[in-house]
Structure 1
Amino acid sequence: MSDHSTAASTDAPRKKDKTHYLYLAVIAAVVLGIIVGFAAPEFAASLKWIGEAFVALIKMMIQPVIFCTLVLGIGSVRSAASVGKVGGLALGYFLTMSTFALAIGLVVGNILKPGEGLQLSDELRGAGAEAASEGHASTTDFVIGIIPDSLLSALTSGEVLQTLLVALLTGFALQAMGRSGEPILRGIEHLQRLVFRILAMIMWAAPVGAFGAIAAVVGETGVDALKSLATIMLGFYATCAIFVFGVLGALLKITTGVSIFSLLRYLAREFLLIVSTSSSESALPRLIAKMEHAGVAQTTVGVVVPTGYSFNLDGTAIYLTMASLFIAEAMGNPLSLGEQISLLLFMIIASKGAAGVTGAGLATLAGGLQSHRPDLVDGVGLIVGIDRFMSEARALTNFAGNSVATVLIGHWTGTLDRPRLDAVLAGEVPFDESDMLDEEYVEQKYAAH
């Protein structure tokens, strides 16, 4: 795209952003939820369904968003090799970053030794056994689970990787059809507009969903459990911050010159949504829309973001590392370095596809311990009380990692419109919350192709 078209987009009149009040309402709802959780714990716990209902509404839109974005992205490019290049580079990057996250978690966990001196009750032993029963799955089950029952069921199954597979096949098929496939692409463009419009409508329920989710977790957890386990929580949050700002921030700055702070500020509303729902999946559709708005090609966004949600689990890697060390210390049976590495590599493989699901990290942890060190499974009950709060940091770190990955891979593959990104991060081209699509900019990019 030319500098002239970028300037034209930049000079366009700004729409009044009425959604500013929506996100102020979300913040107020979170504060109110905390107050209600402390003041009336039993009542607050009964509100859990409200938060779950809102997250379910968001998740309802994820598969249509991924399908439309990826099909349009692949179908509009002429070379299948460019898609393969993006996918291969993305998987290599995800593997490298997961290794870094594991290493940082191991170092901090071994220094802090946060589990020393804790006692394990019979009640907590039962909680650990229950989590283990939910978390045991084989690699074969994972691979088979990627293949949907039918072509259309991939859009209704709730499995992101199934949607990704069908979208890739559909996109490549339309690419091979050439001009005869263009009417289908135009139809999917209209469907994408409808999907994002529905998503924008759902977002107005965010304050209610945030209130129910936060009130329930505070009411269920209480203050005592937080005090006794503050060390592991603070250590985990600090480790995630070191990884995001130290590792990801340095890589982004050195590679592209983009500040991690400006990128995260651009995604501030998505981080607020994640904090209020404790699920990074609730922000997945908005991340796709915002990365496209920021100048990353639709093909790159369509491949990197959904794949990253299943394979780029930086926060989950840190969590599994520190939680395993914490449990081993608390049970008085510390893991040797060899045991730490083998157990955690197994868990990273087992956790694929569970990044956006609240509570999935706990099940993965228990399942991994059951496979490698059954004597430690009872200790999972020690962190049941604070898992929801650790889930916040897991989700935030996973989301930050995927946003950075999208920019980096766009830069490396030449699919990033850098003048556009700079203008967006500077606040010169605001994101349209009303329908989440910048149709004029998308048309200009297609015309450039």
Structure 2
Amino acid sequence: MTTRHPLLRLIDWLLRHLTLLVGVALVSAILLGYFAPAAAVKMQPLGDWFVDVIKVFIPFIIFLTIATGITGMSNLRKVGRIGVKALVYFEVVTTLSLAIGIFMAYLIKPGHIDRAGLPIQNAKKYVVQGAKGFDWWEFFRTNLTLQVLVLAIIAGIVFSMQARREKIMKVLEICTRMVFRVLKYVMLLAPVGAFGGMAFTIGKYGIRTLIPLGKLMLSVYATMILFVIVVLGSILRYFKLNIFTYLRNIKEEILIVLGTSSSEAALPSLMAKLEQMGCSQPVVGLVVPTGYSFNLDGTSIYLSMATIFLAQLYNVSLTPGELLTILGILMVTSKGAAGVTGSGFIVLASTLTAIQKIPVEGLAFLLAVDKFMSEARAITNIIGNGVATLVIAKSEKEYQSITYAHS
């Protein structure tokens, strides 16, 4: 019997205990940030580097998974039905999340706090140049993910019409396996990325920075938890699935997102997990990447709550008509937020500029905790995209009841 190479055994062990390693990295990062903040801040490149490495693979993953999914479909009418159903689901749920964010902000009133002593500064310099409104062409021109998404859909349709469709499918599947195989080993670096991201956050901002915005942070986190358990939980329950079982099965991905503040970092493994749960590969390949542009529940909640928070902070009264306008603007601008750290802040800047009533300078209040907000946004986003995939798969009978694997 051949003995496996020690390096291969080590890799297998690391993969099996990745959740534990990420957890240890996060605890270590928090301790370093608290006791040695200067050293912790220097860990930032580790987190940034890990996310940058993952992002290199994202266009390839999106193209291969969507193109393979569409090419493998038995008929294009089915692809069209799944695509339309997914987009309708995305719009309904994200609009609901925006409305819930506005409602909770008025219910909790996180912006009704004493402003004395807060470090008011000019936030205009943090707003991207030219953010005078939402421009669909500019959004598409500068959004590589959306460009690849459109290209993949077109390529998939073209491939599915070819006489040699089966051979094309085999090439796509081989390329997909190669990309995911490389990514499997890249994910071994997840504890390093999680450590760097969390250490920088604690070392840079500390607890004292959170005091003025503690109420907002708690409100956002509480709202997102309620959204996941109540709203997404009810949706899954309707389709005879359990939200807590689902969350247990993606705990590794949640921990990765917690450390890196980027839902993109967990995209490859989330797609693999959803297939293991019973969703067909074509549905996973079509719904998940599309959801990363159009189904950002966490970002939607944050944007609506942060907007109302700033209005409360500056004592700006908003009429019902203005609230509907804000809701409409956010329905568009929220689609421009990717699952990357800091994107929500830029989108919020564009939204406030478009509204032209709430002072843009208020963004300065959010700078200190945007990293923490980014974690909540990214976690909710990835949970929501997984739920969307399960729902579409179940409704399309592209789901096989499989016993969930627990690690």
Relative to the length of structure 1, the TM-score reads 0.84
The aligned residue for residue 330 of structure 2 is 347
CA offset digits 1:379-427 (Å, max 9, x no partner): 111111111111111111111111111010111112112x23xx1x254
Structure 2 partner of 1:197: 181
Alignment-derived partner of residue 324 in structure 1: 307
Q: In 2, are the aligned partners of 1:71 and 1:168 still within 8 Å (CA)?
A: yes
Is the alpha carbon distance of 1:262 and 1:142 closer, same or farther for their aligned partners in structure 2, counting shifts above 3 Å?
Answer: farther
How far apart are the structure 1 equivalents of 2:376 and 2:303? Answer: 12
Deviation digits for residues 246-278 of structure 1 (CA, Å, limit 9, x no counterpart): 011011102x21100001111110001100101
In 2, distance between residues paired with 1:61 and 1:385?
Answer: 30
- 1:122 Cα shift? 9.4
Matches within 5 A, 1:48-197: 48-119=44-115, 124-131=120-127, 133=129, 136=132, 138-142=134-138, 144-145=140-141, 159-178=144-163, 180-197=164-181
Alpha-carbon distance in structure 1 between the residues aligned to 2:78 and 2:165: 19
Q: Which residue is 1:239 aligned to?
A: 223
AA aligned opposite 1:177: Q
Q: 2:214 aligns with which of 203, 210, 230?
A: 230
Q: Is the 8 A contact 1:115 1:328 kept in 2?
A: yes
| Deviation (angstroms), 1:293 | 2.2
Shift of 1:373: 2.4
Q: Verify the 8 A CA contact 1:300 1:415 in the aligned structure 2.
A: yes
Preserved contact between residue 110 and residue 325 of structure 1 (Cα < 8 Å): yes
Structure 1 residues 401 and 134, CA, compared in 2 at 3 Å: closer, same or farther? farther
Q: In the TM superposition, what is the alpha-carbon distance from 1:345 to its structure 2 partner?
A: 2.1
What percent identity do the matched residue pairs reach? 38
- How many residues in Structure 1 have an aligned counterpart in Structure 2? 397
TM value normalised by structure 2: 0.92
Deviations, residues 297-356 of structure 1 (Å, cap 9, x unaligned): 222111111111111111111111111111111112232332222123212311324230
SS in 2 for 1:351: helix
Mapped to 2, the partners of 1:326 and 1:375 lie a distance apart of 10
Q: CA deviation at 1:129?
A: 4.3
- Give yes or no for contact 1:128–1:379 (8 Å, CA) kept in 2: no
Say if 1:160 and 1:353, in contact at 8 Å, map to a contact too: no
Q: Give me the CA root mean square deviation.
A: 2.1
Q: 1:402 aligns with which of 369, 373, 385?
A: 385
Instruction: Report how far residue 61 of structure 1 moved.
Output: 1.4
Given residue 353 of structure 2, which amino acid in structure 1 is its aligned partner?
A: Q
Within-5 A mapping of 1:197-216: 197-216=181-200
Partner residue, 2:349: 366
Moved more, 272-281 or 349-358: 349-358
Q: Distance in 1 between matches of 2:369 and 2:101?
A: 18
Secondary structure in structure 2 of the residue aligned to 1:117: coil
Cα distance, 1:42 vs. partner?
A: 2.4
Residues 196-248 of structure 1 show CA distances to partners (whole Å, capped at 9, x for unaligned) of 11101101111111111111111111111112211111111111111111011
Aligned counterpart in structure 2 of residue 47 of structure 1, from 12, 23, 43: 43
Task: Give the AA of the match of 1:250.
Answer: S
After superposition, the Cα gap between the structure-2 partners of 1:360 and 1:18, relative to the gap in structure 1 and judged at 3 Å, is closer
* TM-superposed deviation, 1:102: 1.6
Which residue matches 1:154?
A: none
Mind listing any 5+ residue stretches in structure 2 that lack a counterpart?
1-11
Shift in alpha-carbon separation, 1:290–1:426, aligned structure 2, 3 A: closer
1:135–1:211 CA distance, 2 compared to 1 (3 A):
farther
Write the distance in 2 (CA, Å) between the matches of 1:211 and 1:426.
27
Q: Which amino acid aligns with 1:77?
A: M
| Matched letter for residue 161 of structure 1 | L
CA distance in 1, matches of 2:210, 2:309: 15
Deviation, 1:188, is: 1.7
**Is residue 2:259 matched to residue 1:263?**
no
Matched residue, 2:7: none
Give the corresponding residue for 1:384. Answer: 367
Deviates more, 1:380-389 or 1:67-76: 67-76
Q: Does the 8 Å contact 1:355/1:398 carry over to 2?
A: no
Distance in 2, Cα, partners of 1:50 & 1:120: 37
State the distance in 2 between where 1:159 and 1:111 align.
Answer: 38
Match of 1:315 among 267, 276, 298: 298
Rate the CA distance shift 1:374–1:233 in 2: closer, same or farther, 3 A.
same
How far does residue 120 in structure 1 lie from its aligned partner after superposition? 7.7
Tell me the secondary structure at the aligned position of residue 356 of structure 1.
coil
Q: Is the 8 A contact 2:316 2:358 kept in 1?
A: no
Following superposition, the deviation at residue 136 of structure 1 comes to: 4.8
**Residues 127 and 384 in structure 1, CA contact (< 8 A), matched pair in contact too:** no
